[in-house]
């Protein structure tokens, strides 16, 4: 199990980013959340099986390759605090 905290910048709002991230995360049985930030970035926390988290990150990068300008990914300690994956508002 791993946990990553990721900030995506670029043209990542108003393009369905949160909904696609949620779809990928749920399909890969990940837990956590995703939300838009006031500064135009999207923030997400993904927690689950190492391969699934890595696969989700690759899927996000590939799906939005023309939109993402920068990715700030930080590994954190697994906390097991989530029951599912949600879009936060």
* Confidence (pTM): 0.96
pLDDT of residue 17: 98
What's the whole-number mean pLDDT along residues 48-77? 98
Domain count, the chain: 1
- Residue 38: per-residue pLDDT: 98
Beta strands in 30-89 (DSSP E): 31-36, 42-48, 68-76, 85-88
Question: Between the CA atoms of 55, 59, 60 and 61, what dihedral angle is there, to the nearest 10 degrees?
Answer: 100
As a whole-number percent, the residues of the chain with pLDDT over 70 amount to 100
Residues designated as active site: 18, 36
Count of all residues that appear for the chain in the document: 89
Residue 33 is predicted with a pLDDT of 98
DSSP letter at 51 equals H
Domain span holding position 7: 2-88
What is the band of 83 on the pLDDT scale with cuts at 50, 70, 90? very high
CATH for 20: 3.30.70.100
pLDDT for 42 equals 98
Query: What share of the chain has pLDDT > 90, as a percent?
Result: 100
């Amino acid at each position: 199990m791993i946990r990553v905290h990721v900030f995506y910048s670029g043209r990542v709002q108003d393009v369905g980013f949160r909904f696609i991230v949620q779809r990928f995360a749920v399909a890969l049985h990940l837990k956590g959340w995703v939300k838009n930030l006031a500064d135009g970035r999207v923030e997400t926390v993904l927690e689950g099986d190492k391969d699934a988290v890595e696969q989700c990150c690759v899927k996000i990068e590939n799906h939005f390759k023309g939109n993402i300008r920068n990715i700030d990914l930080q590994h954190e300690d697994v906390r097991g605090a989530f029951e599912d994956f949600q879009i936060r508002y």
